[in-house]
Every structure is written in structure tokens, then in C-alpha cells.
């Protein structure tokens, strides 16, 4: 009985990682010539780095019990500005990067103020902000692609390889995930954010400044989203308004599905990274088997439904366990 409980507990904690490994083995057996290759591994790491960053961005806000629906539109605007400010306004690439990161902070600040000061639901406030941002993107691009010469150093933000084998985007995800893990697990700020997400009123009563954390979380999320936009601009080297919104759903899938593993019932950094890799392996394998263009949105949509259900179940299970301990 004890062994059965231990196995169930292990699968409940690391089930997503086990499934990801099982997926990788399954597709490697079915597609031995194409799937278990360095080319596929590099493609998975490069292609999914922006989604991993955006999932971590979504995680920051979800941790305090809010949602950022402007995330996809924001990554659209920031990648457009990263290209347009260089090719249209002829600004130096480093200044462009700083300006784009500043835009991310500004939008995050406005979102936080709307939610905390104006008392607007985060879903409504960020959806409205996102729609406005999409309008700005359309205005700036005039409905056309923005193309032109980009500085080689800017292109290397995505294209560089570290230590001769590690793609730069993967290195960014690893470093940012490590920093976020340290903040959320070992610093008071992380514990306070989780406390706000669990019970905001109780957290306020013990002295946690809800307003500061709300605005700060949205600013941090905006900064990380802007960096993802820079990475996308460096990769595609073109700006267009229809790039961005399609990143919204996968980002939430990664964050919410990650809440079902490592620390079930709570969004967490390594669970999110594992969830993104699981999705990447599953989609890549299905596509290599001949899946059509609609496979990815279909897969992401169904996975989001499953993720929300499992995350809710894990949260209720954790609360029952705590109640039983008392």
C-alpha cells in the first residue's frame, strides 16, 4: 500500500516529465531517421524558446492570481518596433533594444495601474489593452510587412551559438528560468506573490502590499514579453501585425500545464519549462508523421482545456491535504 502511494505520488509530481520522455521515445521509435537527430533537437530548442519565455511571463502574473491577455499583442508590437525602429527610423540596434524593453515595462505598468488603482478585472483590462496595442501595430505597419537591413549584432541575438553547440535562445531560457526559480523559491518576494495568488485578502492582512506586487508583476511580465519580441524579431527579421496573437494560447498552455507537475496545484518555473518541451515534442512528432497545419492550434487548444482541469484538480487535492494535516 505504501509502495502504491509512493508511485502515485511520484507520478503526480513528475508525471509530465515522464510523459515528455515517453513521447520522445515513442516518436524516436516511429521516426528513427528524422526525429532523434541533432537537427530536430536544435529546431525544438530554437523554435520553442520564445514560447518558453512567454509562458514564464504569463506565470509571473498568474502567480498573483491575475491574467495578462495582452501578452500576444504585446509580443507583436515589440517585435514590430524592434525591426521598424532600425529600418525606418535608423536607430542603433542597442538603443532599439532598450527602447523596446522600455515599452514592455510601460505597458506592464499601465496594466498594473488599471487593475489595482482602477479596480478593473485583469481579464478585461489586459484584453482591452491588447486590442489597443494591436491597433497601434496596424497603424505603425500600415497593414504591410516591415523589412530592411538589420545590424548583424542584432541578428546574432537569436542566431548565435554558445560554447559551439548551445543555441543562444536556449541559453536565455535557462538563465531566466534559473533566476526566476531562485526568486520564487528562496526569496520573500516569491512567497509573497504565491500568497497573493492563494488568498489576496489574507496576504494584505499580514502586511503584503498588494498594489506594489500587482504593478511589479505586470511590469516584470511586460519586460520578459518585450524580450521575447526582440528574440522573434531577431529570428524572422521582419515585422508584421499578424505575428503575435498566435503566441497567446501556447503561452497560457505552458504556464497552466506546468502547474500540474513538480509542484502540483501551483504555477512553477520548472513545471512550465517541462510543459513547453512536452508540447514541442508532441507537435513536432505529429507534424513529422504528416500532421497538417491545423495540428498545432488543435493540440494547444485541447491541451489548455486538459491543463486547466488538471491544475484545478491538483489545487483542490493540495488544499484537502493541508486541511487533513490540521
- Secondary structure (3-state) at 120: coil
Our CA dihedral for 205, 208, 211, 212, rounded to 10 degrees, sits at 170
C-alpha cell at 243: 505575428
In this structure, what are the phi and psi dihedrals at residue 161, rounded to the nearest 5 degrees?
A: -125, 130
Q: How many residues does the chain have?
A: 326
Distance CA 83, CA 102 (A): 15
Residue 14 parent element (H or E): helix 2-30
Contact 216, 264 (CB under 8 A): no
Torsion-angle region of residue 264: left (phi > 0), alpha (psi -120 to 50) or beta? beta
Can you point out the beta strands (E) in the chain?
161-162, 166-167
Nearest CA among 191, 163, 155 for reference residue 268? 191
C-alpha cell at 268: 512553477
Profile the chain (326 residues) by mean pLDDT over runs of 10 residues. Answer: 53 75 87 84 84 95 94 95 94 96 97 94 95 95 90 93 85 96 94 92 90 96 97 93 87 87 85 90 83 72 71 64 62
Nearest CA among 103, 212, 201, 94 for reference residue 150? 94
- Secondary structure (3-state) at 239: strand
pLDDT at 11: 61
Distance CA 228, CA 104 (A): 10
Distance CA 42, CA 275 (A): 18
Distance CA 219, CA 180 (A): 14
pLDDT at 85: 96
pLDDT at 233: 95
Q: Output b/e per residue, 23-46; b: 16+ Cβ within 10 A.
A: bbeebbeebeeebeeeebeeebbb
CA-CA distances (angstroms) from residue 246 to 136, 140, 250, 251, 279? 17, 19, 8, 9, 15
Amino acid at each position: 500500500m505504501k509502495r502504491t502511494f509512493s508511485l502515485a505520488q511520484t507520478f503526480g509530481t513528475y508525471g509530465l516529465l515522464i510523459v515528455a520522455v515517453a513521447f520522445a521515445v515513442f516518436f524516436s521509435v516511429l521516426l528513427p531517421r528524422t526525429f532523434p537527430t541533432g537537427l530536430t533537437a536544435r529546431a525544438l530548442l530554437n523554435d520553442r524558446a520564445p514560447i518558453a519565455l512567454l509562458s514564464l511571463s504569463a506565470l509571473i502574473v498568474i502567480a498573483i492570481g491575475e491574467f495578462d491577455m495582452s501578452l500576444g499583442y504585446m509580443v507583436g508590437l515589440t517585435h514590430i518596433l524592434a525591426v521598424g525602429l532600425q529600418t525606418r527610423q535608423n536607430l542603433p540596434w542597442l538603443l532599439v533594444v532598450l527602447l523596446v524593453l522600455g515599452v514592455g515595462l510601460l505597458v506592464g505598468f499601465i496594466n498594473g495601474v488599471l487593475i489595482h488603482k482602477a479596480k478593473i478585472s485583469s481579464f478585461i483590462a489586459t484584453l482591452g489593452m491588447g486590442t489597443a496595442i494591436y491597433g497601434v501595430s496596424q497603424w505603425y505597419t500600415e497593414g504591410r510587412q516591415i523589412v530592411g537591413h538589420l545590424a548583424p549584432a542584432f541578428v546574432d541575438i537569436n542566431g548565435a551559438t554558445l560554447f559551439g553547440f548551445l543555441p543562444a535562445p536556449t541559453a536565455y531560457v535557462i538563465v531566466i528560468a534559473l533566476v526566476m526559480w531562485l526568486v520564487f523559491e528562496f526569496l520573500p518576494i516569491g512567497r509573497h506573490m504565491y500568497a497573493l495568488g492563494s488568498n489576496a485578502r489574507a496576504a494584505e492582512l499580514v502586511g503584503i502590499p498588494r498594489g506594489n506586487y500587482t504593478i511589479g508583476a505586470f511590469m516584470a511580465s511586460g519586460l520578459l514579453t518585450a524580450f521575447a519580441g526582440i528574440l522573434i524579431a531577431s529570428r524572422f527579421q521582419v515585422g508584421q501585425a499578424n505575428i503575435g496573437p498566435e503566441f497567446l494560447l501556447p503561452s497560457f498552455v505552458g504556464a497552466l500545464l506546468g502547474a500540474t507537475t513538480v509542484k502540483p496545484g501551483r504555477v512553477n518555473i520548472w513545471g512550465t519549462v517541462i510543459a513547453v518541451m512536452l508540447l514541442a515534442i508532441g507537435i513536432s512528432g505529429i507534424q513529422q508523421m504528416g500532421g497538417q497545419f491545423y495540428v498545432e492550434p488543435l493540440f494547444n487548444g485541447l491541451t489548455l482545456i486538459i491543463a486547466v482541469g488538471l491544475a484545478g484538480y491538483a489545487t483542490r487535492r493540495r488544499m484537502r491535504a493541508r486541511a487533513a494535516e490540521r
